Amino acid sequence: MLLVIYSQRISIFFIFLLKLSIYIFCTSFIVSIIISAKIISVKLADKFLYSLIVFGNFLRGIEIVEIFNIIALAVVGMGFGLATVFLPKYLGRYVSSILLIILVPIIFITTQVVRYDIWVEQVAQNDNLSLSQAELVANSFLNQRVGNNGIYGFYLYTAKFPILPEKELQMNDLNRLEKSVNSKFVRLIGVPPGVISWAMSLCFWVIRIFYFVVAVVTTVVHFTEGLRIVKC
């Protein structure tokens, strides 16, 4: 009798491990595919959309590629919801919820990580520098402009100025160029440059917050739908 009980427990444990392995494989596969797709979409946008003469800088400013998050996070939410079928009912729901809370910001910030790498590569190519040297130049520029370097500094800077200097010379001349542009704005519309800068920064931050809220809502809705389908 005891042998039968132990064998049943062992079989239940192995079945649980098998289902857990399938859950880990499925969720890892979904995340890797989505992140890869986001990287490709950002690179394509940078090559074909942001290089447009008339609308390129505008599309970069509103970060049009973030619309892809709606599709990407819908797939992630639905996938994680469906994958809960491989775990015990309440455990699957809680585990998937915690993972999504961690993963959604990571997937969302992938755009900035890729754009930062592309920018450093462009600086390296234009100034004939190694990637490490170009990164030092780029980080020095970000420190001067926003007081932070790396991806975080890049994120803060592009929230204020969507146009990125792609040569060290352009970085050094940026203050002069900004003063020239600001003086033209003042002459044309009579608005002080500080007000224009503040309004642009506010606009870009509102756009980013909007994209993030849409990303979160999309994930929650499709995750809930996935749970409903598998009845977890």
Count the domains in the chain. 1
Residue 6: predicted pLDDT: 63
On whether residue 4 sits in a domain, the answer given is no
222: pLDDT strictly greater than 90: yes
On whether residue 5 sits in a domain, the answer given is no
Q: Residue 49 — pLDDT band, cuts 50, 70, 90? A: confident
Range 87-97 burial, b when 16+ CB lie within 10 A, else e = beeeebbebbe
Residue 1: predicted pLDDT: 59
Q: Residue 136 — pLDDT band, cuts 50, 70, 90? A: very high
On whether residue 10 sits in a domain, the answer given is no
Q: Can you tell me the distance from the alpha carbon of 40 to that of 109, in angstroms, rounded to the nearest whole number?
A: 14
Q: Which pTM was predicted? A: 0.83
Backbone angles phi, psi at 160, to 5 degrees: -105, -40
Backbone angles phi, psi at 149, to 5 degrees: -120, -175
* pLDDT tens per residue across span 155-209: 988 888 777 888 888 787 776 666 665 565 556 556 666 666 777 778 888 988 9
- Alpha carbon 221 to chain centroid, angstroms: 20
On whether residue 93 sits in a domain, the answer given is yes
- Residue 60 makes CB contacts below 8 A (sequence gap 6+) with 49, 50, 162, 163
Range of the domain at 43: 21-177+189-230
On whether residue 83 sits in a domain, the answer given is yes
On whether residue 14 sits in a domain, the answer given is no
Q: Can you tell me the distance from the alpha carbon of 183 to that of 38, in angstroms, rounded to the nearest whole number?
A: 39
On whether residue 2 sits in a domain, the answer given is no
